[in-house]
Structure 1
Amino acid sequence: MIRISIDAMGGDHGPSVIIPGIQKVIERRPDARFLLFGHEDAVAPVLDRHPRVKAVSEFVHCEIAVRMDDKPSQALRHGRWKSSMWRAIEAVKKDEADVCVSAGNTGALMAMSKFCLRTMASIERPAIAAIWPTMRGESVVLDVGATIGADAHQLIDFSILGAAMARALFQLDRPTVGLLNVGVEEIKGQEDVREAGRMLREANLETMNYHGFVEGDDIGKGSVDVVVTEGFSGNIALKSAEGTAKQLAEYLRSAMSRTIMARIGYIFARDAFARLREKMDVRKINGGIFLGLNGIVVKSHGGTDDEGFAAAVELGYDMVRNRLIDKIKADFDRFHAGRAAGNRAPEAADREQI
């Protein structure tokens, strides 16, 4: 049984989308159980219309809902202890839930998650990881907005976190990892990126296969299983890809309705267009995971519909089922043990010479 805590007041639509989204989850994940946090006046009427959700859920009334335009500092000051967002995160800390899912304010969710769950001992800053559709299938891309800028050590942390997520999500033994750069040559890019690449090559980690530098077009190609970058460029890449998908869909819709012959052609190619629409449906990959915390938190897109919210919940479900946190802890223990052994080797050589 996977226990999932839900901020039922999050997002642009609140319970009217979240509860129907949970309905879709329980049809596909019958062993999921839910702990819902929200204002009773808003949640109870919708919950009454979905008896299957009500049967597998426990509802907790909360007086405050974090608004989408609240600053993270405001949310922390006024939303702690009483808000649906804080209570949903706290349920993971108290081991009342295995994962928290919210479509609410991203900055507030990250701030509350860091304050409540804390980062793992060996990790300096958390990252948001997203699933990216590619020509080969899917890849993990991080960071897509948690941090602006990252030094070499933080990029290595992101690489280990992303590789652990890829192993949990795609069932890979050694996922390929690439650092996003302005070119694939080792002399290109910022010093921090080049240094991170050098350290990853020398580390030769058992949990990943370091591919080297990748460029922007490699993300869509699926050249690697995990693309690592800092949050500014990662967030721009993510929003650009989402905008491009919507732009292409609108171009196709316009072209297919322009003339009688185009409409007839659409009828004959209807199955092909259906497969294309399915492939370009951003709802299917909705959900970003906050990696590096002592618990799993999933951020759903605030404007998504019930199908998109269900995808975010199922992503959190899969990460719990595949023991993401255990994989991350084991990978970092292995990495730091290897570094300690590497540091001791030169010291031993020096003692022998003496």
Structure 2
Amino acid sequence: MSVTLAIDAMGGDHGVVVTVPAACDFLEKHADVKTVLVGDSDLIKQVLSKTPQAPMERIQIIPASEIVLMDDPIEVALRRKKDSSMRVAIEQVKEGNADAVISSGNTGALMVISRFVLKTLEGVDRPAIATAIPNELGCGTTMLDLGANADCEPMHLVQFAQMANVMVQIVDGKSNPSIGLLNIGEEVIKGNEVVKQTSELLRQSSLNFYGNVEGNDIFKGTTDIVVCDGFVGNVVLKASEGLAKMMSGMIREEFNRSWLTKLMAICAMVPLLRIRKCVDHRRYNGAVLLGLRGCVIKSHGSADRFAFGFALDRAYEAAKNRMVERIAAAFVVETNV
């Protein structure tokens, strides 16, 4: 099965400098992939001309005259910039010209435009943002929602769990993944009413519900999936990113204090590199917008060429394994039960 990926070439902090070479790298590794690069045609062609491994026979360029900026209000991105690279790329999925779309652009704009253009799946009240968080097992804990829905009802959280259950089976290859509900304690009596009601609904479902989990369980890998509302999820994500940067900076500073600490750093280089590889956020790049009638992947805005490749890989796996269709089918089954 051939997979076509639509790429918002202008999105993110670096635009075509990152997206186009990363796309060429990916095409070189996957002979069954085609790409649709959307954006400023001249800029895209300019970068392609400097990329010797670019397989032009599998690259299509679609012009778009506008760019959704990171600080653009959502109303501007949706109503005024109708020829933005982000929107045109999303429209490729709607029109059947691409199997998935990837963008490093404005998260809020991507969610709103995707929902406007693609619509939500039957039975899904709200889309959610899901991504993998590094854990000590080295496999990543899938967490959602990460900011699309600040306030949620119990049924919304149950739907998030249902969608993530399908996604993790498809993208990560885990059969019957375990699901945890983020709470202030493991006991069923803890948490607000929304969490308590959600816990009861999940226990009654056919999902592999582990129970309540705490914040530290995310990084332990206690469950394959952790569900929470978008407010809590976004705070957890930003806090963990900040902690990782702080620890990285502190370690670097300590090892550079003197010639002795620099020597110690050299001696510890191998285990340090192993740890860095395990927690390297670039390897977990590519959040999935779940619940839409099309596969949409959000890459980190500051993603480099290496990181963007992982977002492309996530899109490829989701599209190749028909993630959207299987999520839709799962909701049909739940509705008929």
- Opposite residue 83 of structure 1, the aligned amino acid is S
Aligned residue for 1:351? Answer: none
Tell me if the contact between 2:188 and 2:196 (Cα under 8 Å) persists in the aligned partners: yes
- In the TM superposition, 1:296-307 aligns within 5 A as 296-307=295-306
Give secondary structure in 1 for the equivalent of 2:102.
strand
Give secondary structure in 1 for the equivalent of 2:236.
helix
**1:90 correspondence with 2:91:** yes
Tell me if the contact between 1:143 and 1:230 (Cα under 8 Å) persists in the aligned partners: yes
Aligned residue for 1:344? Answer: none
- In the TM superposition, 1:302-321 aligns within 5 A as 302-321=301-320
- Opposite residue 124 of structure 1, the aligned amino acid is D
Kindly report the root-mean-square deviation, in angstroms, between the aligned alpha carbons of the 2 structures.
1.2
Q: How many equivalent residue pairs?
A: 334
Q: CA offsets, 1:140-194, max 9 Å, x none?
A: 1000011111100100000101111111122222100011111111111111111
Give secondary structure in 2 for the equivalent of 1:131.
strand
Aligned residue for 1:117? Answer: 118
CA distance 1:187–1:286, change in 2 (3 Å):
same
How much has 1:269 moved relative to structure 2? 1.8
- Opposite residue 34 of structure 1, the aligned amino acid is T
Counterparts of 1:172 and 1:60 in 2: how far apart (Å)? 36
Aligned residue for 2:173? Answer: 171
Counterparts of 1:89 and 1:63 in 2: how far apart (Å)? 15
Aligned residue for 1:78? Answer: 80
Q: TM-score, normalised by structure 2?
A: 0.96
Give secondary structure in 1 for the equivalent of 2:53.
helix
Aligned residue for 1:46? Answer: 47
Give secondary structure in 2 for the equivalent of 1:44.
helix
Counterparts of 1:135 and 1:267 in 2: how far apart (Å)? 24
Counterparts of 1:13 and 1:54 in 2: how far apart (Å)? 22
- Opposite residue 210 of structure 2, the aligned amino acid is H
Task: Give the unaligned 5+ runs of structure 2.
Answer: none
Counterparts of 1:76 and 1:223 in 2: how far apart (Å)? 39
The structure with the largest alpha-carbon Rg is: 1
**1:230 correspondence with 2:229:** yes
Counterparts of 1:236 and 1:28 in 2: how far apart (Å)? 36
Counterparts of 1:78 and 1:121 in 2: how far apart (Å)? 29
Counterparts of 1:101 and 1:173 in 2: how far apart (Å)? 26
Counterpart selection for 2:162 from 149, 156, 160: 160
How much has 1:51 moved relative to structure 2? 4.3
Tell me if the contact between 2:122 and 2:328 (Cα under 8 Å) persists in the aligned partners: no
Tell me if the contact between 1:47 and 1:54 (Cα under 8 Å) persists in the aligned partners: no
Counterparts of 2:3 and 2:302 in 1: how far apart (Å)? 26
Give secondary structure in 2 for the equivalent of 1:120.
coil
Counterparts of 2:15 and 2:220 in 1: how far apart (Å)? 35
Counterparts of 1:244 and 1:28 in 2: how far apart (Å)? 34
Counterparts of 1:176 and 1:212 in 2: how far apart (Å)? 9
Q: CA offsets, 1:65-104, max 9 Å, x none?
A: 1111111111111122x11111100100111000000011
- In the TM superposition, 1:1-354 aligns within 5 A as 1-53=2-54, 55=56, 56-80=58-82, 82-136=83-137, 137-203=139-205, 205=206, 208-338=207-337
Tell me if the contact between 2:28 and 2:55 (Cα under 8 Å) persists in the aligned partners: no
Give secondary structure in 1 for the equivalent of 2:113.
helix
Give secondary structure in 1 for the equivalent of 2:250.
helix
Percent identity (aligned):
37
How much has 1:54 moved relative to structure 2? 5.1
Give secondary structure in 2 for the equivalent of 1:69.
coil
How much has 1:323 moved relative to structure 2? 2.0
Q: CA offsets, 1:310-333, max 9 Å, x none?
A: 111111111112221122122212
Give secondary structure in 1 for the equivalent of 2:133.
strand
- Opposite residue 110 of structure 2, the aligned amino acid is L
Q: CA offsets, 1:242-288, max 9 Å, x none?
A: 11111111111111111222222222221111111212211111111
**Bigger Cα displacement from structure 2, 169-178 vs 125-134:** 169-178
Tell me if the contact between 2:118 and 2:293 (Cα under 8 Å) persists in the aligned partners: yes
Counterparts of 1:258 and 1:92 in 2: how far apart (Å)? 52
Give secondary structure in 1 for the equivalent of 2:87.
helix
Counterparts of 1:260 and 1:281 in 2: how far apart (Å)? 27
Counterparts of 2:80 and 2:45 in 1: how far apart (Å)? 24
How much has 1:58 moved relative to structure 2? 0.4
